[in-house]
Every structure is written in structure tokens, then in C-alpha cells.
Amino acid sequence: MLNNRFQKLAFVTTANDPRGFPQDSFAEIAFAGRSNAGKSSAINTLANQVRLARTSKTPGRTQHINFFTAGQNQYLVDLPGYGFAGVPIEVRKHWENFLAGYLQSRGPLCGMALLMDIRHPLTDKDQLMLDWFLPSGRPVLLLLTKSDKLSRNQRLSAARDVRAKIAPRAASLQVIPFSSHSREGMDATVEVLDGWLTRATAAAIALEAQFSGFAENDGAAPP
């Protein structure tokens, strides 16, 4: 079993406006998916906790972005679920604008895990999330949840089909069948996400050091 940093996840803040986002972030991973895709269960499984990410009894009710620490200046970001017709149109429009803005312009965001029920992948809303995010060139992890509902051959076939449809559009793509029940895909998921955070944090620290050097030398007399 890999060293799982996500077992130390802890809730930090919730935001319904960019002004509420953490200002100290070096690296963030977004978790996105339909309200019934098992997103909260997947986060709880990664963290080995029961109620860290809470599942609402009313799908689509959570309208905020929730930030959890995944290390110093690093965050796992739980995005609002989507895809339920019962949500008022003005709320859905707010979600779409909010999510699109975060996915397209949030500087520390270093990758997105998009969770989809392995039996019903790539819905129209899933495709919309990919449309917003893929142009950034950042890596995408497609977690095909509830994989224990299918046989091994069915799981492999579903993963191949999803990969074939998305790979031509994605600069960096990985597809992993995942089950919160059987814990299938756990190690592979931890390895991918940990790698994203580690590399993005190192790049952010190097960039910060570079700018600090510029600031120290600003106005200095030439040699």
C-alpha cells in the first residue's frame, strides 16, 4: 500500500465566491462529477474517513466549493455536484458560471478528477466539464466509480471505451475503474493525485523563489 497523504485530509473552508478561496495555495486538485456519481464516497474512501465529505440526502443541494487540506499549501477541492433536473434554472446557471470560472482561471489548479458512474459514463454534463477544462492542457483523471457493479471484463471494456473517446482531446489522460466498496483503483488513484500535487508544488515554490530573487535585486545598481 502506498503512503496515502489523503488520509490526513481535513476540511478548511467552503466558498460560493472566488473571494472565499484560499490565498496560500500552491497546488489544487478538483473533484467533479454528477451528484449521484459517488464523489463524496470516493473522497471519504481516499481519506479513510466516514463523513469528511458529506452526502446530501437531496441531490444537487450542495452549491459551494469545499476545500480540504492535502498537505501544506495543497488542497483537494470538492466541486458542487451537477446533473439533476429538479434544481432551479437560476441555481444551475450560477453553478455553471461558478464551476467554469474555477476550472478555467484558478491558477493553483493542477488537475481534475472527473468521477462518473462506470455504467453511465460521459453524460452531456460530464462532457461540458471536459469542454471547460481540457483546453487548459492540465491532466485529467477519469474515475469510473461503482466498478464493483460490473464484471472484470465489463470494467476493462468500459475503461477502454471511455479512454478512446476522450484521449484525442486530452493532453494528459488517465482512466481508472474505482470502487468505494471494494477499494478497487485506490492505490492507482493515490499515486496519480500525489504525483500531481508534488510536481505542481515544486513548480510553484521554484517560481516563488524566482520572483523573490527579482524583488531583492529590483533597483540594484548594475555591476
- Alpha helices in the chain, H assignment, sequence order: 39-47, 89-105, 124-133, 152-166, 186-217
Q: What are the angstrom distances between the C-alpha of 105 and each of 85, 110, 131, 203, 212?
A: 27, 11, 14, 18, 24
Please, are residues 188 and 177 in contact by the beta-carbon 8 Å criterion? no
> What is the Cβ-side half-sphere exposure of residue 161, based on CA atoms within 13 angstroms?
12
Q: Sheet with 109-117: list strands edge to edge.
A: 10-15, 65-71, 74-78, 27-33, 109-117, 140-145, 173-177
pLDDT of res. 56: 47
Terminal CA-to-CA distance of the chain, rounded, Å?
A: 55
- Assigned architecture for domain 5-209: 3-Layer(aba) Sandwich (3.40)
Q: What residues does 181 pair with on adjacent strands?
A: none
pLDDT of res. 218: 63
> b/e map of 65-101 (b: 16 or more CB within 10 Å)?
bbbbbbbebbbbbbbbbbbeeebeeeebeebeebbee
pLDDT of res. 210: 85
pLDDT of res. 90: 81
Q: What is the model's pTM?
A: 0.89
Query: In which residue are the cell numbers 466498478 written?
Result: 147
Q: pLDDT tens digits, the chain, 223 residues: what are they?
A: 467 899 999 999 999 889 999 999 999 999 999 988 999 999 999 999 987 876 544 444 457 899 999 999 999 999 988 865 566 788 778 778 888 999 999 999 999 999 999 999 999 999 999 999 999 999 999 999 999 999 999 999 999 999 999 999 999 999 999 999 999 999 999 999 999 999 999 999 999 888 777 666 665 544 4
**Residue ranges per structural domain of the chain:** 5-209
pLDDT of res. 89: 81
Please give the Cα distance from 25 to 200 (Å, whole number): 11
Please, are residues 134 and 122 in contact by the beta-carbon 8 Å criterion? no
pLDDT of res. 91: 75
Element (H, E) at 71: strand 65-71
pLDDT of res. 216: 64
Query: In which residue are the cell numbers 455504467 written?
Result: 119
Sign of CA dihedral 192, 194, 200, 203: negative
